[in-house]
Amino acid sequence: MDRAEAVRLLPEKYARALVLRDQGCDNARIAAALGIVPEAIDTLMRLAEAKLQQLLDNPPEVDDQLRVPLENPADLPEPPVV
Amino acid sequence: MAISAWPFRGREAELALIAQAMDDPAVAGMVVAGEAGVGKTRLALEALAKAGPERYVVKRAVATSATKSIQLGALAQLLPADLPSANLLRAATEALLAVDDGRRLVVEIDDAHLLDDVSAALLHQVVRSGAAFVLLTLRSGEPAPEPITALWKDRIIERFDLLSLSPLEVEQVLIAALEGQVDSTTTGMLWRATRGNALLLRELVAAGLDQGALTDSGGVWRWQGPLVMAPRMMELISARLERLDEDELHVLELLAYGDPLSLDLLASLASMRAVEALETQGLLSVEQSRRRTQARPAHPLYVEALRRRSQSLRARARQRELVEATQRFGARRREDELHLAIWQMAIGGEAEPRVLVSGARQAWAAFDVPVAERLARAALEGGAGVAAAQLLSDLLVYCGRAQEAEELLATLQFQPRDDEERARLEMAYAFIRFWGFDRIDEAFALLTELERSIANLGWREGIVAMRARFLAHTGQYTAALRLIDRLPDMPPVFEATEANALMVRALAASSHGRLSVATADVRRARRLVPRWREEVPWLGDMVEVAGYLSQTLGGDLAGAAETATRFHATAAEHTNYPFSHVVWCTLRGQAARLRGQVQDALRWLREGWRQSGEPKALASLCAAELAHAAALAGDHDLAERALAEAQASRRASQAIFDPWVDIAATWVSATRGATGQATEQALAGARRAHDTGALAYEPIALHDAVRLGAARVVVDRLGELATQAEGDLVGLYAAHALAAARQDGPSLDQVASSLAAAEATLLAAEAAAQAAVAHRRAGRQASARAAAASSARWLEACQGAWTPALGTLEAPRLTPRELQIAKLASQGLHNREIADRLGVAVRTVDNHLHQAYSKLGIGGRRDLGRFFDREPAS
Q: How much is the pLDDT for B490?
A: 65
Those residues with Cβ within 8 angstroms of residue B498's Cβ, 6 or more apart along the chain or in another chain: B491, B492, B528, B532
Buried b (16+ CB within 10 A) or exposed e, B415-434: eeeebbbbbbbbbbbbbbbb
Going from the C-alpha of B229 to that of each of B1, B2, B234, B309, the distances in angstroms are 18, 17, 7, 12
CA angle, corner A48, sides to A44 and A51, nearest 5?
135
CA distance B749 to B866: 12
Asked if A67's CB is within 8 angstroms of B196's CB, the reply is no
Please tell me which residue of chain B has the smallest CA distance to A13.
Answer: B163
CA distance B655 to B286: 49
Whether the Cβ atoms of residue B474 and residue B652 lie closer than 8 Å to each other: yes
The alpha carbons of chain A give a radius of gyration, in whole angstroms, of: 13
The alpha carbons of chain B give a radius of gyration, in whole angstroms, of: 34
CA distance B738 to B222: 48
Asked if B160's CB is within 8 angstroms of A47's CB, the reply is yes
Residue B190: strand, helix, or coil: helix
How distant is the Cα of A22 from the closest Cα of chain B, in angstroms?
20
- The DSSP line for A28-44 is HHHHHHHT--GGGHHHH
Whether the Cβ atoms of residue B699 and residue B733 lie closer than 8 Å to each other: yes
Residue A63: band (very low, low, confident or very high) from pLDDT cuts 50, 70, 90 = low
- The DSSP line for B421-463 is HHHHHHHHHHHIIIIIH--HHHHHHHHHHHHHT---HHHHHHH
CA angle, corner B325, sides to B324 and B330, nearest 5?
100
Please name the member of A35, A43, A72 whose beta carbon is closest to the beta carbon of B160. Answer: A43
CA distance B404 to B74: 64
Please name the member of B14, B161, B291 whose beta carbon is closest to the beta carbon of A40. Answer: B161
DSSP state of B413: -
Q: How much is the pLDDT for B817?
A: 78
CA distance B528 to B766: 43
CA distance B33 to B112: 10
Q: Flag whether residue B572 sits within 8 Å of chain A, measured between CB atoms.
A: yes
CA distance B245 to B277: 10
Asked if B169's CB is within 8 angstroms of A63's CB, the reply is no
Q: How much is the pLDDT for A76?
A: 41
Q: How much is the pLDDT for A64?
A: 55
Q: What is the ipTM of this complex?
A: 0.83
Q: How much is the pLDDT for A66?
A: 54
Those residues with Cβ within 8 angstroms of residue A16's Cβ, 6 or more apart along the chain or in another chain: A33, A34, A70, A73
Q: How much is the pLDDT for B670?
A: 92
Spell out where B576-615 has E strands. Answer: none
Q: Flag whether residue A47 sits within 8 Å of chain B, measured between CB atoms.
A: yes
CA distance B430 to B466: 9
Whether the Cβ atoms of residue B619 and residue B406 lie closer than 8 Å to each other: no
Please tell me which residue of chain B has the smallest CA distance to A7.
Answer: B166
Whether the Cβ atoms of residue B414 and residue B438 lie closer than 8 Å to each other: no
What's the helix, strand, coil split of chain B in %, to 5?
65, 5, 25
Please tell me which residue of chain B has the smallest CA distance to A51.
Answer: B13
- The DSSP line for B299-340 is -HHHHHHHHHHS-HHHHHHHHHHHHHHHHHH---SHHHHHHH
Mutate to test the interface with B, among A63, A76, A82 (most CBs of B within 10 A): A63
Query: Which residues of chain B are within 8 Å of residue A11 when distances are taken between CB atoms?
Result: 163-166, 169, 196
Asked if A14's CB is within 8 angstroms of B163's CB, the reply is yes
CA angle, corner B73, sides to B71 and B76, nearest 5?
115
Tens digit of pLDDT for each residue in A28-50? 888 887 878 899 999 999 999 99
Asked if A77's CB is within 8 angstroms of B164's CB, the reply is no
Those residues with Cβ within 8 angstroms of residue B256's Cβ, 6 or more apart along the chain or in another chain: B297, B302, B303, B306, B307, B310, B318
Segments of chain B scoring below 70 in pLDDT? 1-4, 218, 290, 331-335, 349-350, 489-490, 573, 575, 612-615, 808-814, 855-859, 863, 865-874
Polymer length of chain B: 874
User: Is pLDDT of A79 > 50?
Assistant: no
Q: Flag whether residue B570 sits within 8 Å of chain A, measured between CB atoms.
A: no
Please name the member of A12, A35, A39 whose beta carbon is closest to the beta carbon of B152. Answer: A39
User: Is pLDDT of A3 > 90?
Assistant: no
Mutate to test the interface with A, among B166, B172, B280, B283 (most CBs of A within 10 A): B166
Q: Containing H/E element for B108?
A: strand B104-110
Angle between helices B198-210 and B184-194 (to 10 degrees): 120
